[in-house]
Amino acid sequence: MMQKTQTGVRIRTYYELTKPKIWYLLVFTAFGATITAANIYDVPVSAATWALMLFGVAAGSASANTLTNYHDRDIDAIMERTKGRPIPSGRITPPKARDFGLVLAAISLTCAFAISYTAGFWNGVWAGIFMAFGLVNNVVIYSITLKRRSRANIILGGFCGGAPVMIGYAAATLQGLWDLGLIMAGLVFIWIPMHIWALTLHFKDDYNRVNVPMLTAVQSEKTSARVIAISTLVMVLFSVGPFFLTTSTGEPIMRDIYLYTAVASGALMLVLAFWVIAKPTEKASWALFKFSSPYLAVLFIALMVDSALR
């Protein structure tokens, strides 16, 4: 019984190391991209493709989170928000965390490229390329290279956020990959800075304590609030982009369901963003941060529903 308890604790600790709240949402965006592309272009997606895509994106996102946790273990041990994480708290040793992350990365790449055998050769090739890009951008570009050096870290290091969408889309079809697929990925890419900046404004003392120059941590609260509001406005304007796309026959890709959802949910985000400007407090920025994840999920639900009712 004691052995089973210890095994369960160990599994939960490794699971916590992967930051599941982050990869849940990324897997959902990949799922939404696959459904949307399959509906619009009327292509079947096999069970094997679904399994490889979903497990691959989950493993890839978990790998990136694990490896960034490994690299950031020194500053995580100092920040109040992160000192209880598995590595700084001593529940997992750094070498074991690193090795676990590398194994997950290998699994994710294998799954992505294996889509070549279940969907199509180029589908798997592109899925694998997007997976590799996402891992390199998150771990090497963002965490290792930019996070501690540049206030633009989350912008240049945020491209990885769109990788799951491109993987999910490519798993279904390559039709429209570079217009609708890219716009859907762009939604996540533009969402990431606003999401992270709202978080760092709330925890700016933590970031300043470890000299990580997140933009909203090193700027004044007034400037930070304006940056967050502008990025939120850009995100909301960009979110209506899919409504203006058409198929090769001139038929609109999205209809009113998606447009109304994007406008309504975007209006709520703008209200919260301008609340941050009016009162650039931790409470306001935390409210914006907490609503931003459901906002992105709602957009992808609307994409799926709209495409299903075409």
Contacts of 211 (CB under 8 A, 6+ apart): 148
Which pLDDT belongs to residue 3? 58
Which pLDDT belongs to residue 56? 98
3-state secondary structure of 252: strand
Task: Give 241-267 as a DSSP string.
Answer: GGGG-B-TTS-BSS-HHHHHHHHHHHH
Query: Considering only CA atoms, which of 137, 248, 252, 245 is closest in space to residue 188?
Result: 137
* AA identity, residue 144: I
How confident is the prediction along the chain (310 residues), in pLDDT tens digits per residue?
555 577 888 999 999 999 999 999 999 999 999 999 999 999 999 999 999 999 999 999 999 999 999 999 999 999 999 999 999 999 999 999 999 999 999 999 999 999 999 999 999 999 999 999 999 999 999 999 999 999 999 999 999 999 999 999 999 999 999 999 999 999 999 999 999 999 998 888 899 999 999 988 888 888 888 999 999 999 999 999 999 998 777 788 888 999 999 999 999 999 999 898 888 777 888 899 999 999 999 999 999 999 999 7
Which domains, and CATH codes, for the chain? 2-308 (1.10.357.140)
Which pLDDT belongs to residue 282? 73
Which pLDDT belongs to residue 4? 59
Which pLDDT belongs to residue 220? 86
Which pLDDT belongs to residue 1? 54
* AA identity, residue 278: A
Tokens of 154: 């989350």
**Phi and psi (nearest 5°) for 246?**
-130, 160
Task: Give 73-114 as a DSSP string.
Answer: HHHHTTSTTTTTSTTTTTSS-HHHHHHHHHHHHHHHHHHHHH
Q: Which helix (H) or strand (E) holds 115?
A: none
Q: How far apart are CA 191 and CA 235, in angstroms?
A: 6
